[in-house]
Amino acid sequence: MRAVKAVQQHYTPGSEILQMLEQFRQMLNDCVRIGLAENVSSLKSLSTKAYNQLATYDVMSYYKLCAISKATGILKNYRKAKRQGMRVKEPYARQLQLTTCYGFKIKTIEKALSLPFKPKQPLSIPLNAHVLRVLSEPNIQVCSVTLTDQQLSISYAKEVEPIQPHGLIAIDRNLDNLTVADSDGQMGRRNLAKATEVKAMYREIRSHMRRNDLRIRQRVTGKYGRKEREKVKRILHHASKQIVLDAKRREFGIVMEKLTGIRKLYRKGNWQGRGYRGRMNAWSFTELQRQIEYKARWQGIPVIYVNPSGTSVKCSICGSRMKPEENRQLKCRSCGFTVDRDVNAARNILARGVRFAPFASASEAMVQEPQRKVILKVDADELTKSAS
Ligand SMILES: [Zn+2]
- Cα 321 to ligand 1 centre (Å): 7
- Cα 333 to ligand 1 centre (Å): 7
- Cα 208 to ligand 1 centre (Å): 48
- Cα 118 to ligand 1 centre (Å): 69
- Cα 338 to ligand 1 centre (Å): 9
- Cα 378 to ligand 1 centre (Å): 14
- Cα 309 to ligand 1 centre (Å): 17
- Cα 320 to ligand 1 centre (Å): 5
Main-chain dihedrals φ then ψ at residue 317, nearest 5 degrees:
-105, -55
- Cα 158 to ligand 1 centre (Å): 45
pLDDT, residue 84, reads 82
At a CB cut-off of 8 Å and minimum separation 6, what does 243 contact?
Answer: 169, 171, 178, 180, 190, 254, 292
pLDDT, residue 203, reads 67
pLDDT, residue 206, reads 64
Pick the range with the lowest mean pLDDT from 44-58, 61-75, 83-97, 293-307. Answer: 83-97
pLDDT, residue 190, reads 86
Three-state SS for 255? strand
Q: What is the mean pLDDT of residues 65-77?
A: 93
- Cα 261 to ligand 1 centre (Å): 27
Beta bridge partners of 157: 4, 141
The tens digit of pLDDT for each residue in 316-375 reads 999 999 999 988 899 999 999 999 999 999 999 999 998 876 665 433 333 333 333 333
pLDDT, residue 174, reads 81
- Cα 324 to ligand 1 centre (Å): 13
**The pLDDT of residue 265 is above 60:** no
Burial of 76 (0-12, 13-18, 19+ CB in 10 A): middle
- Cα 331 to ligand 1 centre (Å): 8
pLDDT, residue 310, reads 86
Radius of gyration of the chain (CA): 25
Comparing 365 with 99, the larger pLDDT belongs to 99
- Cα 172 to ligand 1 centre (Å): 19
- Cα 345 to ligand 1 centre (Å): 13
Pick the range with the lowest mean pLDDT from 102-106, 210-214, 375-379. Answer: 375-379
pLDDT, residue 67, reads 94
Comparing 190 with 261, the larger pLDDT belongs to 190
Looking from the CA of 102 toward its CB, the CA atoms found within 13 Å total 9
Three-state SS for 31? helix
Pick the range with the lowest mean pLDDT from 221-235, 251-265, 270-284. Answer: 270-284
- Cα 374 to ligand 1 centre (Å): 17
Q: What is the mean pLDDT of the chain?
A: 83
Full-model pTM: 0.74
Residues of the chain above pLDDT 70, percent: 79
H/E segment holding residue 115: strand 112-118
- Cα 344 to ligand 1 centre (Å): 11
Comparing 285 with 117, the larger pLDDT belongs to 117
pLDDT, residue 198, reads 73
H runs (alpha helix) in 137-192: none
Pick the range with the lowest mean pLDDT from 50-64, 247-261, 296-310, 349-363. Answer: 349-363
Burial of 206 (0-12, 13-18, 19+ CB in 10 A): middle
Calpha distance 221→172 (Å, rounded):
31
pLDDT, residue 321, reads 93
Q: Name the DSSP letter for residue 359.
A: G
Q: In what order do the strands lie in the sheet with 121-126?
A: 105-107, 112-118, 121-126
DSSP 1-13: -EEEEEEEEE---
**The pLDDT of residue 10 is above 50:** yes
pLDDT, residue 364, reads 34
pLDDT, residue 233, reads 87
Residues of the chain above pLDDT 90, percent: 56
Q: What is the mean pLDDT of residues 288-309?
A: 92
- Cα 192 to ligand 1 centre (Å): 29
pLDDT, residue 327, reads 87
Three-state SS for 254? strand
- Cα 375 to ligand 1 centre (Å): 14
- Cα 314 to ligand 1 centre (Å): 8
DSSP 190-243: EE-HHHHHHHHHHHHHHHT---S-HHHHHHHHHHHHHHHHHHHHHHHHHHHHHH
Three-state SS for 357? coil
Q: What is the mean pLDDT of residues 371-382?
A: 38
H runs (alpha helix) in the chain: 15-38, 43-50, 61-83, 129-135, 193-207, 214-250, 276-298, 341-356, 370-387
Q: Give, rounded to a whole angstrom, the gap between the first and last alpha carbons of the chain.
A: 46
Q: What is the mean pLDDT of residues 260-285?
A: 57
- Cα 247 to ligand 1 centre (Å): 29
pLDDT, residue 388, reads 36
The tens digit of pLDDT for each residue in 158-190 reads 999 999 999 999 999 887 888 999 999 999 988
Confidence band, pLDDT 50/70/90 cuts, at residue 224: low
pLDDT, residue 212, reads 53
pLDDT, residue 133, reads 95
- Cα 312 to ligand 1 centre (Å): 13
- Cα 322 to ligand 1 centre (Å): 7
- Cα 318 to ligand 1 centre (Å): 4
Of the candidates 299, 356, 338, the residue with the CA atom closest to the CA atom of residue 163? 299
- Cα 367 to ligand 1 centre (Å): 27
- Give CA separation, 315 vs 153, 299, 309, in Å: 45, 33, 13
